[in-house]
Chain A
Amino acid sequence: QMQLVESGGGVVQPGRSLRLSCAASSFTFSSFGMHWVRQAPGKGLEWVGVISNDGSYEYYAASVKGRFTISRDNSKDLLYLQMNGLRAEDTAVYYCAKGDNHFWTASGYLDLWGRGTLVTVSS
């Protein structure tokens, strides 16, 4: 059964860094673009960014560009989200999600999601 499991969330002070991981299983991880999506408390879903299947390309939402970096290790079926310069408004549950193609398309969709990991930015 295809599965994504996020880990690495926790409480972190403003300005500090945190790295999230997402373990994939039961599908050919190296064939698909992977996304991060977040949900702030009481809010809706917000797309964070995407990485191509081979890790060569990344795109980010304006709200995190320059602070967050997505990477992947296809030999271990792992996806990462490095978050630097964290702010209170970054507090959210972070989900990793599998795209339907090798990177992204305007018609692309997210066909497998994890259960998320909570990041709380607070002093």
Chain B
Amino acid sequence: QSVLTQPPSVSGAPGQRVTISCTGSSSNIGAGYDVRWYQHLPGTAPKLLIYGNSNRPSGVPDRFSGSKSGSSASLAISGLQAEDEADYYCQSYDNRDSSLSVFYVFGTGTKVTVL
């Protein structure tokens, strides 16, 4: 089902910077559709981190930043903290199925481990 590809895992020491990639195609990110990012600790409610490729909702630390280029997007976490250990998902819209008017797609997910 996932049409957005992310690395299964990334890791870093406290204080370091890590980046998570999200690779799509010409029917989603490459078509110009916005990318969003969510943080999910298993057993809790997922949380919106980034919308509109690079915008942070109120309350999200500026350690989190998003960018997009071509058919890919990235989430960067700087000054890594223990509380950042979680699963991260990108999300976009995909227009490949003409029978659907709405087709939100998520990435495969990336587990961030703080060493």
- Give A43-73 as 1s and 0s: 1 = Cβ < 8 Å from B's Cβ atoms: 0111100100000000101110000000000
Q: CB distance B45 to A109 under 8 Å?
A: no
Interface-facing stretch out of A8-16, A23-31, A78-86, A111-119: A111-119
Q: Does B36 contact A (CB under 8 A)?
A: yes
Which residue of chain A is the closest to B44 with respect to CB atoms?
A: A115
Nearest-Cβ distance from residue B16 to partner chain A, whole angstroms: 25
Q: Which residues of A contact B47 (CB under 8 A)?
A: 113
* 8 Å CB contact of A59 from B43, B57, B100, B105: B100
Known contacts A37-B46, A45-B106, A111-B48; 20 additional CB pairs below 8 A are: A37-B106, A44-B2, A44-B107, A44-B108, A45-B89, A47-B103, A47-B106, A50-B102, A59-B102, A62-B100, A63-B1, A95-B46, A106-B34, A107-B34, A109-B48, A113-B45, A113-B46, A115-B44, A115-B45, A116-B45
Would you mind naming 15 contact pairs between A and B with Cβ atoms under 8 Å apart? Answer: A35-B104, A45-B38, A45-B40, A46-B2, A59-B100, A61-B103, A62-B99, A62-B100, A100-B51, A106-B33, A106-B95, A110-B36, A111-B51, A113-B46, A115-B44
